[in-house]
A and B are shown apart, each in its own frame.
Chain A
């Protein structure tokens, strides 16, 4: 089989797409990362604060080993990795070929501003006469037609909203780099045929379209239209539906036959909408409703026009495709019905995020949009457009509960605790890891009010305030007045999902999300096309990241199986000259265009000043250094200088990540010996100080380079074998995934048979029998020659060596000990149904757990049951096990539905606190209620009281919160949902260096961004060992963990970054402060030689150790004391 470098296409550059792209890039595949929008980051570019830290932290997804391959700045701003080609403004329009050998056709949006030339100066924006709602800020502010789509992007290039642009040409005139081309000629060349029997319509349309710069022909009948179409080349036809003689639909049919690619927009009156819809089925692109809304018309015409001038048809060859276009929010204002969602002080959660964002319209002040007055009473309304059958949204959006709690806490924080916040909800779905404690602390410590009532209508009060009516805990109607109402707008399938599905050839589910395999959620209906992140369903960041990892694993596995390889890592370091023994000879290049932008900075004078500061430096004058031509001229002038370091004074240093690497390759100088200084920003404003500030910036750079340490990061050995502990569904999945990539795996299972928890589960709530998948996995593992399965075995010790190298001792079933060497460890130790003594468990045969019930139901146990009661949250979501076990609600529903199916006469009561049917599971809650299962809520403070009478007769008394009185039920069977507890991890944490949380689950490095990693390099966890989760969720997580492990296994050596900490042992007093300060657990004290040691692979060069060390015994490479002091000195020179 021919081997070639594997390539993959990732569609959507939000959080999931970035995760998948980085995963594959780190595996050395070539990755194309495309996004429809002009920027990366997706929804997260708009969110500043995230649970649980209320910070961002997206950068934690950047590679932690081989760090130098990637840029190391904020991922919300930009992404650069040497194996990733980022293509913004690009869509996939067709996917042909076979898995492993796809040909994907990409179209890129037309660029009216050349991104190569745009330097983001913003001069174009000032004269733009158009002002429209700023989408980035949820419409809360205004922007121009020529604008920055995301204010903080790097590089940040302007784009033009052509639908709003008046083509006045002012921006073209002021652009200093000639980047703007409004392509008016192209517009004129775009001919539109208007077909309508009414002269008024034709004339007015022509008038509008000509004003918009298009050429227009007209026809008054279908027949004439057909003649014109056959004789001319049109870009677009606007066709009336209802015309005498040949009507629009007939004409359309003929036009379609003649010119199938010619887009046709139907025009219709209200009465003939249905005909227009029919017309779309036979190929009309869209329909427009009369009377025309000019803006809507213009937008649709421009859209057609832009697609014709788009850069079309780039075909790339890829082995696999990952779809990661995420999801969208519904627009509450568009929900039919009078909900009062359109008052100015009713905002969506996303808008609220923008309000409190520092880059938002109000610079982060907590104020009302209507008048900018402080918002001090804020209501959060949950389930707006979710769990709403009328909106065809019989699902829970999964993220809003946490979103709202976080926002309520933000409101508290932003107001110094002054704001009163109330969350109105039906079920507070805190089903994720640590969610429940977050909620509890929001309620108890921060005073967020949680009110269980769905608010229907927001009504206006005086002075822009809003009135809400709700039924309180006592059942009384209450009216309360708020300053601001925040809507938890439900999730929807992403806007382009339908088109994408069509071009990718995959199916969607009824809600418009990608239809996936029930258990393997990254598998779409087309082999080789995978679903990453929220496109496969409703997911929060953590789950999206896991799902993205699962998709990249599957993509890699497929590419590999079709003969694509991971490119071997290029030898690094050797590429660059070792100049560490040479005297520093520094060149300074000053870019003239930065100076001209900044209003005529005197670069000669600047150069002279720098030469005075350090006569040894060589000053070069250059221009447009960011362009290819500029780079070439710089290279030419550098060549004869013999300089071994270069500092470039230009604009926007962050642009230069890739260019510096190119420059490095061409000059042989390490990128660590190059620096780009922003001389543009400091030259702005504040009068005569400009020269001084620019000089200061350059001098600091010079000092920085003089002290730079160009040595590349050290490489370490890795044992390219994996150990997977736990042979349940997660462990089996992870082991197979790694073995399929050609690496050896030792799989250790403590029981005699693999399978774990899943063996107790007959089928999933979706009705998929578990025996099938388990059987396939087990036989796959047994058959795989790369996997050694040790059953009845357990880990009894392990020692880590330098690099990625462990020696682990296991004791097998027959008492023998074996030693296993491996480089990575995946913990998949799973969990068990938690034990309980509550509610009479153990005192009566009629009190059973959900697992026991499931066993009985499998044997026809539903027959003969009269009354069944289920109590949820037994022993959980309260201190002790204060977490949601996630699977108990669905298990209860599954079993209740089974009982109702087998025995419709049986009465089933479910006592619950919050029903946690997140995502599409909510449909089963709906179904259960339809089937007559009765749900009765109780609270943590007033649990149902169970008494066991004679003969084990069970009586449950509880207060029904709706009726406000006690009710008693005497069930034949009481079923307890006790939840999941982790298996005892014993000393594994100690052996492998990971932490365990207070509930006994594995503690991940970072909940959202590194969900499967531990802080210890090479140690990962998945499945129930990490947190309670369902089978499909466990599988996805196991795949994600395998993916992370493979990134390491796929290397011959692992490289630490070049910026790492170092200890000067002679100075070190062993106070160990650096150990506690290190957030990566990279430092330890070696008791044998009494030294502080650094795990260079774990160290991320953050410098916390250097800051805490009083005498610089701990230093960070490239940030030496003398160097930094020299920079400080340079900074102060002119002050």
Chain B
């Protein structure tokens, strides 16, 4: 049973109460720095920052429904070599899961890192968030987001809604963070839960002097189940739609027609960890004569070339590690529904291997384990 502590919310200001908790981390010297979303002075934009000064935590807004980029890549940069001192990273569940994948790919380490994650009720696509948050309104937009949810108004606001990735996300709570900040199953305008999922998390709460108890979490569980249920329903409709949309090579080409080979999706993808993508190497520096030959063969050659190949390759490489954060779609300048395609394929791939990307550090990635008797129907024999 998890150890549960509480943050009492003062003045129904969830954001500043959470800031106070994060300040405590630095005050008590539990960590040297905190990686967390903070609100920038200009344009009311929200971006991750590595904060060492307590004062700067006054701008921290981990609950903002903004998701500029997947922070797992930032954290991987911080932890590729051993850290001298502990840091805390406050991230969304999908960021935590991406980070778990990166750790398994030796792109980061959990040593000296405390992972903190608040229940995630979704985030807006980047363009929409600017609209929703307005200019200069500070954290008020964050508080109103949650008020709307509590009052049953939902997440839609000003012609915008949280992204399809969030709507189809079945992991609103990070079970593999050291500390989960619980919004569900409690009245978040009065109390936030501090759930220690790991010995590391328990130790932190103890160090901070947070009073903990073995409280049953029935209310939280039913709230979570309800939310996940909704999302799975949405997800499965999305899968069905997408599967149909790409059910043949021709349809797939149509699905990806708007791709301009900008590779933004790859850059935004937290688990696409290659230092340099093979599509940017000389392998794809085709001989000029080659284009003409291809064109002759078919009568017409779609330009740019290698777009479908690019997405298929990325699917081949990364669908086993895809954690479904949706940053690919977020990054696409031409609104190619990349996330939908990836999630649909990833669901099949991960299901086939009985693997859940980001679920646990212990599960070996499918491609790194070898089972003698696996996929007989594919390998064409008993062996």
Contact = CB atoms under 8 A, between A and B. Distances in A.
Nearest to A1104: B370
A1125 B278 CA distance: 13
A1112 B273 contact: no
A1122 B283 contact: yes
Interface hub of A413, A1071, A1112, A1113 (most chain B Cβ within 10 A): A1071
Contact of B106 (A1072, A1108, A1112, A1133): A1072
B171 to A, nearest CB: 24
Contacts of A1070: 106-107
Contacts of A1072: 105-106
Contacts of B275: 1066-1069, 1111, 1113
Most buried by B among A54, A410, A1067: A1067
Nearest to A1073: B368
Given A1071-B105, A1111-B281, A1122-B282, A1076 B274 contact: no
Nearest to A1067: B276
B372 interface: yes
A1108 B316 CA distance: 10
B55 interface: no
A210 B77 CA distance: 91
Contacts of B318: 1110
A334 interface: no
Given A55-B383, A1073-B367, A1076-B368, A1112 B278 contact: yes
B107 A1112 contact: no
B282 A1069 contact: no
Interface centre among B107, B281, B297 (most CB of A within 10 A): B281
A1073 B382 contact: no
Interface residues of A, number: 26
Contact of A1111 (B105, B277, B383): B277
B228 to A, nearest CB: 31
A1129 to B, nearest CB: 8
B317 interface: yes
A922 to B, nearest CB: 33
A1125 B275 CA distance: 22
Nearest to A414: B382
Contact of B383 (A413, A1076, A1077, A1122): A413
B383 A54 contact: yes
B273 A1071 contact: yes
A951 to B, nearest CB: 55
A53 interface: yes
Contacts of A1067: 274-276, 281
A1121 interface: yes
A1122 B284 CA distance: 8
Contacts of B282: 1122
Contact of A1110 (B297, B317, B368, B382): B317
B285 to A, nearest CB: 8
B297 A1071 contact: no
Given A1073-B105, A1111-B274, A1125 B283 contact: yes
A1125 B290 CA distance: 12
A55 B382 CA distance: 11
Nearest to A1070: B106
A1077 B382 contact: no
A1113 B275 CA distance: 10
A878 to B, nearest CB: 24
Contacts of B107: 1069-1071
A1111 B382 contact: no
A1071 B281 contact: no
A1066 B281 CA distance: 11
B125 to A, nearest CB: 27
Nearest to A1107: B367
A1044 B383 CA distance: 31
B278 A1110 contact: yes
Given A413-B382, A1110-B317, A1066 B276 contact: yes
Nearest to A410: B382
Closest 6 CB pairs of A and B: A413-B382, A1111-B274, A1110-B317, A1111-B278, A1071-B105, A1121-B283
Given A1066-B275, A1069-B274, 17 more contacts: A413-B382, A1068-B275, A1069-B273, A1071-B105, A1071-B106, A1072-B105, A1072-B106, A1073-B105, A1073-B365, A1073-B368, A1110-B274, A1110-B317, A1111-B274, A1112-B278, A1121-B278, A1122-B283, A1129-B290
Interface of A: 53-55, 410, 413-414, 1066-1073, 1076-1077, 1108, 1110-1113, 1121-1122, 1125, 1129, 1133
26 contacts: A53-B372, A54-B382, A54-B383, A410-B382, A413-B382, A413-B383, A414-B382, A1067-B275, A1067-B276, A1067-B281, A1068-B275, A1069-B273, A1071-B106, A1071-B273, A1073-B368, A1076-B368, A1077-B367, A1077-B368, A1108-B367, A1111-B274, A1111-B275, A1111-B276, A1111-B281, A1121-B283, A1122-B283, A1129-B290
Interface of B: 105-107, 273-278, 281-283, 290, 297, 317-318, 365, 367-368, 372, 382-383
